[in-house]
Structure 1
Amino acid sequence: MTVDDRLTGEDRDFLASYDPHAFPPVAVTVDLVILTVRDGQLCVLLIRRGAPPHRGSWALPGGFVGPRETLDEAARRELAEETGLVTGAHMEQLATYGDPARDPRMRVVSVAYLALVPDLPTPVAGTDASEARYRPVADLAGGAAPALAFDHDRILADGIERARAKLEYTGLATTFLDEPFTISDLRRVYETVWGVPLHAANFRRKVLSTPGFVEPTGEKLATGRGWAELYRRGATAHLHPALPRPPAT
């Protein structure tokens, strides 16, 4: 049953005289916080805007939602355009940002998404960007770099905190890795995202004692100092017990 099928006769009479132009226009966009681990650093995909407003400024990738797109469809389209990934990435709705003055063009409400992806080839800028690049989030913190366009600094900060929190109680850290991987590879993801060193033996014990977190492949990788067992992602969605995040030093 479609929405139209549920309309009553009264609804149709009302809509026949309804004037949508009686209200100020509001546009809807999606913005993506796309995080990955590159060269031992937590990085975010940024684009340099090729057109006003904020031409030349760095920003999160995103765009306007099409008239016949759902929010998730628009976000998936933007992710595919920016990374080439159609499947295999974790993506979830982060938050909605609707301050009246966040966009100088008009009232624009943005629904932000968080995407966690494995290391990917160097991105190519799309049609509305002059450049695209993975930037270490550490280089963007504390005013060390120019502010991002619009309110994207706030969106990025929210996305990073969401990713750090979710690593405590979900298996999403494995999303940053190509399969198969070692426990050491997984530990380095946690250390990179959390920004703290972890005790290798304790981490291994916690991971292997958490049902469904990882599954052994039965294969081993030569490390130069011996052999490391290889694993794939497990089936569990939530870790129990959780892996508590150590305090930052």
Structure 2
Amino acid sequence: MTDAFRFNAAVSVELVVLTLGSRVTMNDTLCALLIQRLHAPHRARWALPGGFVRPEESLSAAAVRELREETAIRADRLRLEQLATYGEPGRDPRGRVISTVYLTLTPNLPPPQPGSSAKAAAIHPVDRVLADPGRIAFDHHRILADAVDAARDMLVHTPIATEFCAPEFTVAELRRVYEVFWGTTLDSRTFHRKATGIPGFLEPTGRATTRDGGRSAQLYRSGPARTLHPPLARPS
């Protein structure tokens, strides 16, 4: 390193917050939290929540602050997991920006409220956003697509899908969560056999319900497993 060396990049964080449904969409819709930018560049375009990291902040602290400032949503109870880092030249017209992206999957997301640097904040159906790359600022279309793929893999290896169900649920209700995240229809018998065959994934409650319609269905609760062995295979 020479005396002429200068730091040549800024550091930012972005957040991908995925949920099912909102006040204006059904619970069988995979949705993402977006903000409408108040300032240039890309003024008035939709974007992922995020911003530049302050000198005294850790990356995770910056992510929590940006989410609160731009959407009024507190991240205290959200599991923020680092997804990836994006740093290609040209991704931001203001200069070289290296972004660390955090991903969280959460049910019952409260209605977002725009903060000081956002014109609006809203929960958007993921399929509509991904179908229109020009709708979202910077390279956030690519980031969102990567995050959705990562979220789908999380359902393969962890029991996080049960968090989107009631405390007691049927296998059909759990299967619908998988269908929404994976964007496909699953065979009911095959899913039932695989889900109930994974040790520690589901625990029978000893009760049943007819709320799914038709015959009485057994109720389950989430079991103690934190990873699924064997994994619940995702359709290709």
Same fold (TM over 0.5): yes
Are 2:49 and 1:78 equivalent residues in the alignment? no
Shift of 1:171: 1.5
- Give the TM-score normalised by the residue count of structure 1: 0.81
Rg (Cα) greater in structure: 1
Letter in 2 for 1:71: L
Query: CA separation of 1:44/1:21 partners in 2, compared to 1, >3 Å: closer, same or farther?
Result: farther
Paired letter, 1:173: A
Does structure 1 residue 131 correspond to structure 2 residue 120?
yes
Alignment of 1:182-193 (within 5 A): 182-193=170-181
Report the CA distance between 1:90 and its aligned residue: 3.1
In the TM superposition, residue 23 of structure 1 has moved relative to its aligned partner by 0.3
In the alignment, structure 2 segments of 5+ residues that lack a partner are 22-26
Name the residue aligned to 1:169: 157
Is 1:237 matched up with 2:194? no
What is the alpha-carbon distance in structure 2 between the residues aligned to residue 64 and residue 217 of structure 1? 47
One-letter identity of the residue aligned with 1:150: F
Q: Name the residue aligned to 1:31.
A: 14
Secondary structure of the corresponding residue to residue 158 of structure 1: helix
Matches within 5 A, 1:96-115: 96-115=85-104
SS at match of 2:142: helix
Residue type of the partner of 2:10?
Answer: A
CA displacement, residues 110-141 of structure 1 (integer Å, 9 cap, x when unaligned): 00111101032322112211111111111123
Q: C-alpha separation between the residues in 1 aligned to 2:114 and 2:220?
A: 34
TM superposition outliers: structure 1 runs of 4+ over 6 Å: 18-21
| Structure 2 CA distance for aligned equivalents of residues 57 and 73 of structure 1 | 25
Shift, 1:172, TM fit: 2.1
Could you tell me which residue of structure 2 aligns to residue 140 of structure 1?
129
The answer on 1:91 being equivalent to 2:115 is: no
Stretch of structure 1 that moved more, 223-232 or 65-74: 223-232
* Paired residues, number: 229
SS of equivalent residue, structure 1 residue 90 = coil
Query: What is the SS of the residue equivalent to 1:118?
Result: coil
**Residues 118, 178 of structure 1: 8 Å contact kept:** no
Letter paired with 1:139: R
Shift of 1:63: 1.6
- Structure 1 residues 71 and 36, CA gap change in structure 2 (3 angstroms): same
Indicate the RMSD between aligned Cα atoms, in angstroms. Answer: 2.6
Distance of 1:133 and 1:150 partners within structure 2: 18
The residue number in structure 2 matching 1:157 is 145
* Matched-pair identity in %: 48
Letter in 1 for 2:95: M
Q: Which stretches in structure 1 are left out of the alignment for 5+ residues?
A: 1-17
TM-score, length basis structure 2: 0.85
**What amino acid is aligned across from residue 70 of structure 1 in structure 2?**
S
State the Cα deviation string for residues 207-239 of structure 1 (Å, max 9, x = none). 121112133455555516465444443332221
Please tell me the residue identity of whatever aligns with 1:62: G
Q: Distance in 1 between the 2:190 and 2:159 partners?
A: 17
Structure 1 residue identity aligned to 2:106: V
SS in 1 for 2:111: coil
Q: 1:216 to 1:85 in 2, by over 3 A?
A: farther
